[in-house]
Each structure stands twice: as structure tokens, then as C-alpha cells.
Structure 1
Amino acid sequence: MTHTPAPTPQAPRPDAHKPELQPLFAPLVKGAAQAITDYRMIGEGDRVMVCLSGGKDSYTLLDILLHLQKRAPIDFEVVAVNLDQGQPGFPTHVLPEYLTRLGVKFDILTEDTYTTVKEKTPEGKTTCALCSRLRRGILYRHAREIGATKIALGHHRDDILETLFMNMFFGARLKAMPPKLQSDDGTNVVIRPLAYLAESGIQRYAEAKGFPIIPCNLCGSQENLQRKIVGEMLEGWERAHPGRLQNVLRSLTRVTPSHLLDRDLFDFASLSVTPAEGDRGFDGEEYPEREFLAGLSEMQMLG
């Protein structure tokens, strides 16, 4: 692991943008600040470990958190962390040089998970599940070692919705990515400050900012991933019906358990009606509920 303390800044901090970047950056900051507030992602004295992959999302996340760090009414620390997974041709100099110029405290972790993933993944199968599991374990461990109270990931609105439909289509589960999550062992808290932000806005900002993007050769080399297919479906919906994806995201915040089918989430079995005195059945006779249930049970047995 390479540990680098925050040097004297040699480059403008992200809040000192050129004027032409402000229209792109301001709505991103507003959306992220709203998500952070809604889910209480960051508090006084937090040490936030920002997982920096070298992609547009994590660069944007870092810019936003550094901006909020200077303007928020609370004090919190930001530490950038990159995991070098041993991918062939990975440009190891890019992130250290960028973060040094920015004046950000950072750690570079080196773990050859690439070889493990390639060896363990059968030909033709996707590498994402194993790769992410190994990466998550390493980052969780490092967060504990440096005393990080929050782990910030760069997943945005479109990632959340892709996960929702992936779970529905291929896992038969109504499940997405939460904006805030406690690890199973309770030792880490993951936050996703970009949860409200559309990928398109992040893309425009990243292009205008000129981030030194590092592509993922492991994931990017896989064609016909189901996640890509689902992503293209969502993009098509948004092109045809602008605002649809935002409505889908809002639906995740307005859940009505009694109108779904999960018997563990809502006690359907206890729902019943107690007839008022004098109520009659279909034939004009008194028709108590217990007799109806007994009759229903008998019909099912004959049935």
C-alpha cells in the first residue's frame, strides 16, 4: 500500500471552477447534497473514504465531496483510495499524479485480484460478481484500518435502477442499491451520494472537466452483459419518455407494502372483516365469516 498525506495543493480545488463549468457542476452538487441530507450520509467528524476507480463517476464524487467539505456546516475528512487490482497495462501513475496535484490525502492499495478473477471465472461467464466481492473485501478492511466512518461509492441513479431491474428480471427479487448501507458485520457504512444523479449529467461534467479516465479492461472487455442490455433498455425509455427514470426512482421512496405481494413485509393473513349485526349473506341468510372460510376450504378440497 502506498500512503500519501495531503500535500500542499498545486491545483485549483473543485469549487474554483471555471465559470463555464458551473452550470454543469451546480445541479450535481445540489442533487448530491439533497441525497446526503435525506439519508444523513455524513455527520460531524466523519472520515469519508472515497473509493476512486479512475472512472467518471468516482472523479465526480470526489469533486462534489471536496466542494461540500468547504461549504457544509459540519467538519468531515476526505481520504481518496484507489485499488490497483493488477490489470495488465493499468497506468499506475495517473491517479497518484492527479491526486497530488489536487492536494488530496490518498492511499493506493495493490492487490492482484485480476489473476484470481481470471483463474476462477469459467470461460464465457462474467467476471463482475467475483471481482466486486474481492474488491469490496479489500476496501472494507482498509476502511477499518484507517478509521474511516463512511465508505463513499460513485453509484448514481442509473446504476440503482439497473440493479433494480436486474434483480427483477434475473433474480425474481424487488431489490435495488440503497443510498446508505451497513455491512453485514456492522463495521462499515457505505454511502452513495450520487444516488439522485442521472448518469447523463455526470457524463457531461466529466467530459467538460477532462478527467484522466482509466478504463476497466476486465469489465469493459465483456460483451453482451445483461447489465448493459438493461441499461440500454432504460436509456431507450428515457429517450422516448423523458422523466420516466426519475419517476421510477421516486417510486422506490414511496413504497406501499399493502399493495405488493410480500407476506413477510405485510400481514395479509390477519386482514378480515367482522360483519355488522344484521348483515346477510348472498342468499339473504346470515353468513358469518367462519362459515365462508369453512366453505372455501371445502371447495378447495373438492376441487
Structure 2
Amino acid sequence: MKLQQLLSYTRKALDDYQMIENGDKIAIGVSGGKDSLTLLYALSGLRRFYPKQFEIEAITVNMGFKELDFTEVANLCKELNINYTVVESDIADIVFEHRKESNPCSLCAKMRKGAFNTKAKELGCNKEAYAHHYDDVIETMMMSLIYEGRFHCFSPVTYLDRSDITLIRPLIYVEEKDIKGFRNAYRLPVVKNPCPVDGYTKREYIKQLIKTLGFESPGLRERLFHAIQSSGIDGWGKRL
């Protein structure tokens, strides 16, 4: 995927759900993975010509794994003229050593979000951008359906009343395979996730299930995404 195509998909999401207003200061959650680095490129590119003016802050919550090195991410942010902040934490030690969680993902995510929200507010941001993409949308709905017994998914735009900040997801129209192509084409400085449970989660199971069902029923992913958009799930009605 070329940059122009990425910008087109991202702008459509911003326009369809009115994600950005004049004067917004947006904190981008940068894990170091391909998705968040692609989001950096997308919002950095749109910042130059999008009709509504906005600022960007890039924030990484370092979980405390000793092997993590975000130097190349910092270099990319400098190249894109984006202020970059790393929040140091002991999340990995708390989750895996002290708490010894059997299902660590929930606690880990909660702690990372808390640290991210705090720093975003300190930097004067009124919005946060997560790098959830097209496949994440479908997988989240399927997880909710299978494990919770309800048809539900996160919203493109969510107001977090506790932190008084609005969360946006500008990559919801971008497929994961295209993000992989963008990563390769632009040689994104991906930081490998050292988490010991990476790749062994319920989400990974659902990802493979959808892939298998897709082979048997071509067009399944598109129909699932359309079902989410037309289902009446809160926040998915286009704001046009």
C-alpha cells in the first residue's frame, strides 16, 4: 500500500465519523508495532492538508521489558516532525512477576491505558488516536459475540468521561494486509513485542477462525464489517 492510499482511507474515516475538529491536539498511542507506526504516517501526512487544523503528540508507554529499544521510533518521529514522549513503567514486572496473572491481557491493557491517558492530559491533548484497523473491528465483534453472547464492537469515536478525552480510531477502513504492505514498502522501524503471551490470545484464535471461515465463504469479512456499520451499534452510524 502506498502512502496516498493510506491517506485516502484514513481521511474517509475522519470525514465519515467527524473524528477531528479545528484546534484538536491528538495523542497517538505508539506501541512500536506496525499499526501504530502506520497511524503516525497517516496523521502526519494528513496534518499538512486536512481542512481542519490539528496537532500531534506521539506517546509510548514502555512496559518495562529490558530488551525494548525505541530509538528508531524516536528517529522516525523526528523525521515526521512529531514530538515523541516515552512513559517509563513497571507494568511487565507487576503483571508477570508480582501478580502472576493467568490472564494478563486485561490488567496490562488497563494499566497501559491509564498511563497513556495521564501523559496525554499532561501534554494538553483533548483527543487520543488508537491504531485499531479493519480486521480489529471484525475480530472484536466476533469476540464479543462468541465470548460474551452479544453483538458489540468498540466505536470509531468514544468520549472517555473519566479522563475527559475523546478516543478516535482513524484506521478502521485500512486492512491489516495493507498495513503489512505499507510496513514493508516504507521500512517501518517495528519494535518486536516481547510479551510472553503474544500470539496465544483469544484474539489470535478469532483471527484464525475468521480466516478459515473466509476460505469457505468468500466476502465474509466485508459482510461482517457491513453488519457492524448497519447494526445500530452505538457510534457506528455515520455522522454525515
TM (normalized to structure 2)?
A: 0.90
2:75 corresponds, among 92, 97, 102, to 97
Task: Please state if 1:47 is matched with 2:25.
Answer: yes
Name the CA distance, whole Å, in 1 between partners of 2:182 and 2:74.
22
Task: Determine if contact 2:70/2:191 at 8 Å carries over to the other structure.
Answer: no
Name the CA distance, whole Å, in 1 between partners of 2:8 and 2:199.
35
Task: Please state if 1:251 is matched with 2:227.
Answer: yes
Task: Please state if 1:120 is matched with 2:99.
Answer: yes
Task: Please state if 1:86 is matched with 2:64.
Answer: yes
Structure 2, unpaired ranges of 5+: 234-240
Name the CA distance, whole Å, in 2 between partners of 1:120 and 1:182.
31
Once the two structures are TM-superposed, the CA of residue 241 in structure 1 deviates from its matched residue by 4.0
Query: Which has the larger Rg?
Result: 1
Name the CA distance, whole Å, in 1 between partners of 2:126 and 2:232.
32
Aligned-residue Cα RMSD (Å) equals 1.8
Once the two structures are TM-superposed, the CA of residue 157 in structure 1 deviates from its matched residue by 1.1
Name the CA distance, whole Å, in 2 between partners of 1:146 and 1:256.
35
Name the CA distance, whole Å, in 1 between partners of 2:95 and 2:133.
25
**Counterpart in the other structure of 1:229:** 205
Name the CA distance, whole Å, in 2 between partners of 1:47 and 1:68.
14
Task: Please state if 1:179 is matched with 2:118.
Answer: no
Task: Please state if 1:132 is matched with 2:109.
Answer: yes
Task: Determine if contact 1:126/1:225 at 8 Å carries over to the other structure.
Answer: no
How has the CA–CA distance of structure 1 residues 33 and 110 changed in structure 2, closer, same or farther, with 3 Å as cutoff? same
Once the two structures are TM-superposed, the CA of residue 184 in structure 1 deviates from its matched residue by 3.9
How has the CA–CA distance of structure 1 residues 76 and 54 changed in structure 2, closer, same or farther, with 3 Å as cutoff? same
Instruction: Identify the range of structure 1 (238-247 vs 66-75) with the bigger mean alpha-carbon deviation.
Output: 238-247
**Counterpart in the other structure of 1:56:** 34
**Counterpart in the other structure of 1:285:** none
Percent identity over the alignment?
25
* AA partner of residue 215 (structure 1): K
C-alpha deviations, 1:160-199, integer Å up to 9, x for none? 1111111111112221121111114261111000011111
C-alpha deviations, 1:202-240, integer Å up to 9, x for none? 111111111111111115x44542211100111223344
Structure 1, unpaired ranges of 5+: 1-22, 258-303
Task: Determine if contact 1:126/1:222 at 8 Å carries over to the other structure.
Answer: no
Task: Determine if contact 1:53/1:82 at 8 Å carries over to the other structure.
Answer: yes
Task: Determine if contact 1:47/1:77 at 8 Å carries over to the other structure.
Answer: yes
Once the two structures are TM-superposed, the CA of residue 200 in structure 1 deviates from its matched residue by 0.7
Task: Determine if contact 2:32/2:70 at 8 Å carries over to the other structure.
Answer: no
Once the two structures are TM-superposed, the CA of residue 242 in structure 1 deviates from its matched residue by 4.1
Name the CA distance, whole Å, in 2 between partners of 1:182 and 1:95.
28
**Counterpart in the other structure of 1:36:** 14
Name the CA distance, whole Å, in 2 between partners of 1:193 and 1:167.
22
TM (normalized to structure 1)?
A: 0.72
How has the CA–CA distance of structure 1 residues 27 and 242 changed in structure 2, closer, same or farther, with 3 Å as cutoff? farther
**Counterpart in the other structure of 1:67:** 45
How has the CA–CA distance of structure 1 residues 30 and 242 changed in structure 2, closer, same or farther, with 3 Å as cutoff? farther
Once the two structures are TM-superposed, the CA of residue 39 in structure 1 deviates from its matched residue by 1.0
Name the CA distance, whole Å, in 1 between partners of 2:129 and 2:232.
29
